Structure formats: C-alpha cells, structure tokens
Amino acid sequence: MAGSIGAPVAAQRSARNSSFAIPEPLVSATFGAVVLGVALRALCGAGLPLWLDETFTGAMAAEATFRSVIQQSLLEANGPLYSIFMHLWSQQFGLSNSALRAPAFLFGIAAPLVALIPAKGISKEVRLLWCALTALWIPAIWYSQEARCYSLLFCLIMGCTVAYAHLLANPNIRRAVIWACLSSIAILTHYHALLLIAVQGIAYLAVHRMRAMRTWPAALAFVPALAWIYLQLPRIGQFADPDATWFGLLTFADAPSVLNFILGDVGLIPALALIVAIPAIVRRRDAGPNTVSADADMRCYLWVIVATAAFSAATVIIIGMARPSFTARYLMPFMPGILLGFAWTISQFGRRWALAPVAVLLVAAGAALGSLFGQAQQAIKYYNFEAASHSLMASGAERLVFLWDNPVTRVYDPSQLQAAGGFFFRRAGKDVTIEPIYLKPGDDPNARLLSAASAPGSAILWLYDLNIRATAARLHPPRIEQIDPAWRCKDFGRGPFGVIACYRAAAPLS
C-alpha cells in the first residue's frame, strides 16, 4: 500500500520540479540584476539639483489646493494623473528634491518585479530574462531618479503588458476590465500610451474577433481618459503647433541616439554579436522543446505583444520624421513589449548555448554600471536654476523677472511660468513676485529683461538651451552687464545650457 501511494506522490513531485526547471545560473543572474538595478537607481543622479522639467513637477505638487492642481493640469499637454499623485504625495512627504524623486525610485524598483507575474505563453525563463533586462535597462535606471512621470508610466505599461498577455490567452470580461483599467490609467499618465493601447486593442479584436467583441463592456473603463482628453484637446492642439515645439525633425542622422535609447547603450552591439556567434563556434546544444510554450497559439500571442509595441514605437519615430514631435523618452511606453521581445530572443540563444542568457545579462550589467559614471543623462541636470534661485534669494530679490527662452513658452499660461519660476523661492518660504517674459520674433532678450526689471528690488533669471531652434539667445547672447554696468550677472549653466541670474548689488553672486 505504501509503495502504491508513494509512486504517485513521487511522480507529482517530479512533475512539479520539472515545471520549475530553470537553469540555476539564470535565477542567480536575475537576482543579481535586480539587486544591481536597485543599487543603481539609488545612486545614479542622486544629489543632483532638480532640472527644469522637474521644477515644473515641483511647482505642480506645491499647488495650494486640489482644485488648482486640476486647473493647472488642464493647461498642460498631458494627462493629470502624475500631477495629482505628486500633489497628494508632497502633502505627506514635502517638496524636497529627494521627496519629489522618491516615487520615481519606488516605481523603478517595482517595474522589473511585474515581469515575474506568471502569464500563459511567457515561460518562466523568458519572465526571468524580461525581469533582468528591465532591471538593467539604462534609461529606466536614470528615470528612476527623476521627478517626472516616466518611471510611473514604465511601471504601468509593464502591468498593462502582463494583463494583455492574460487577455490574449483567455479573453473574458474580468481580464478585459483589468487590462482596460490599467491602460486607462497609463493614458492619463502620458498620452503616448494611447497609441500603444489602441494598437493592442485592434490586435486583440483581430486575433479573437467575436470572443473579443463579447468583452465590450470593458471599454467603459476608457471613458475617464477619453473625457479628459476631450476637455484638454484645444490645449493639446496649441502644444502640437510646429511653431511652438522645441523639437527638431528626426532624421536618419539621429538613428544612433534612438538605437542607444532602445538598447540602453549602443556600445552593447559588438558584445551581443559575439555572444550570438559563440554557439556557432562551440558545440551546439540540443534544442529540446520550445521554452515559451508547446502551444503555437501561445507563441503567437507573445509575438502579438512584441509586435504591437514595436509597431507603435516605429509609428512615433516615423511621425517624428514628418513633423517636429519626437524625443527619445516618448518611446518609454513601448519599451516593456520590446524588452519582452529581447528576452524571448535571448532565451532562444540559450537553447543553443546554455550560458548565452547569463552572458548577455553580464554584458548588460557592465553597461549599467558604466551608466553610473556616464555624463549623458547627468548633463541635462545642468539645465536647472536651483542654485541661481538661492543666490537671488540671498540678494534680497522681491520681484523676479523670469524668461524661459524657448519656443514652447509662447503657449504657456502666465500662471504656469509664475509657479515654476518662483518654486525654489516659495519652497524656501520667500515671498516673491514673478513676472514672466514672452518674447516676440526678433526681440532682444537683454533689452526686454532690463526694461521689465527697472522697478526697485527686481532680479533677472534667464534660461535657455542653445541646442533648441528659435532660441533668442542664439542671436542675442547675454550682455546685460555690458548694457547696464549697475547689474551683476552670473551664468549658473554649463555648455549649451544658460542660466543667467542678475541683480543690482555691490556684492557678487555666490
């Protein structure tokens, strides 16, 4: 009797163990990748001042009431969710640089772990690789130390991707509602998610047809996102005006930078090519059964996920070549699906050479470590006016003439520029009046700023980026001191980023 009972138990135990038969080196490598990813997210960019875009986040978070947050969000060109979240967060944790960046850090830690959620059609090996690649993907590391919406967006799209995998595997109302709710939240975080979700929805209908149609009530979850977009549509149109955008047209010369964002580091290509070539040199490993799923439909669903992400990314890039609308971070919502495709591809090389996945992760880890010392992402932090604001506070400024010398400024409401320009003053408890300056084509900012700053107690803060077209400082470099020697100015920027702070005083700016 004991023998007859023991045999089935042993068989069940053996089956259970085989179902989790993932190579031990891959488990260890994934764990190491997650730990390294957390460490890098804590270290990369830590202690750097808030750059310009982060200051706008701080200004939104510092709004006095929830109603004012909604009003200001309607003046933006994107969804309100992140601004609302940051306003509520700051009420509990304050407005310090570290407090404003903490949510991005937490979402950055969570995103790779979402990849480990079981989903039919995505094998455990692929999920481990997806988790590790997400943990080590360099842009996600950098955006985990930035008080902007991209870390939250990336985490949400990871969740959408897993929910979409479940929905494709077995369409039903519950799964459709989960995917639609996550998708709607992602859209309300950043509107570029709308393209991905629309393409996923079309693919879902094409694959499952009538089964998909029967889940139509889930579409009601999109009503809040669509209603908000409808309210904001005129404002979105203003920001989309080519004359008001700071983007340049995307060209083939930009391909390396785009590829660098997608891969995390374009320098990975030679190392990855070598890893791919090794199986042709060493003895070929037995292919064995497909590691994704024995079911061809499941393999098809995985590639639907990857294809929808890749198609959406390609669409954004092509549009960027036709009209000025592209910057690399706008690819963020498409990267979870693309990274899933990378993970599946790497797993297939692992069938030919067992150590290939671990070798790829080691190379990715090396590149991620290198990012800790890299300057590319840190350089943009020089476009900040935190130190300049503190120096102007020390000068006793009571009125700040604020110029953000950028073509997009023309569509910003004065209240937005007042909130951002005076953020550091108000955070420090200093009462200051902010007068934003709007330039007309051909205006000399030096003359405009001096004219506006004629009142007693005035100071000047002039921001510009010489890389951006239609920046007035390209034609009219700063010469406030030369025009009026009573002024003392200091450039707190670096390279192409100008942060000119000026005031009337005998003592130099610190």
- Could you give the C-alpha distances from 505 to 21, 457, 458, 489, 508, in angstroms and in order? 73, 10, 11, 10, 7
What DSSP element (H or E) covers 465? strand 458-465
pLDDT < 50: residue spans in the chain: 1-20, 285-294, 507
pTM tops 0.85, yes or no: yes
Residue-level pLDDT at 482: 95
Residue-level pLDDT at 509: 59
Cα–Cα distance for residue pair 392/349, rounded to 1 Å: 58
φ, ψ for residue 90 (rounded to 5)? -65, -25
Cα–Cα distance for residue pair 156/190, rounded to 1 Å: 11
For residue 497, the SS3 value is: strand
Residue-level pLDDT at 438: 97
Radius of gyration of the chain (CA): 26
Residue-level pLDDT at 506: 61
Cα–Cα distance for residue pair 444/477, rounded to 1 Å: 9
Asked if residue 246 lies in contact with residue 408, where contact means CB atoms within 8 angstroms, the answer is: yes
Q: Which two tokens stand for residue 206?
A: 């094409």
pLDDT digits over 163-220, tens only?
A: 999 999 999 999 999 999 999 999 999 999 999 999 999 999 999 999 999 999 999 9
Task: Please count the other Cβ atoms lying within 10 Å of the Cβ belonging to residue 159.
Answer: 21
Residue-level pLDDT at 24: 84
Rounded to 10 deg, the angle between the 97-114 and 81-93 helix axes is 120
φ, ψ for residue 282 (rounded to 5)? -80, 170
Which residue type is seen at 337? G
Residue-level pLDDT at 379: 77
**Pairing mode, strands 497-504 and 487-491:** antiparallel
Residue-level pLDDT at 13: 43
Residue-level pLDDT at 362: 93
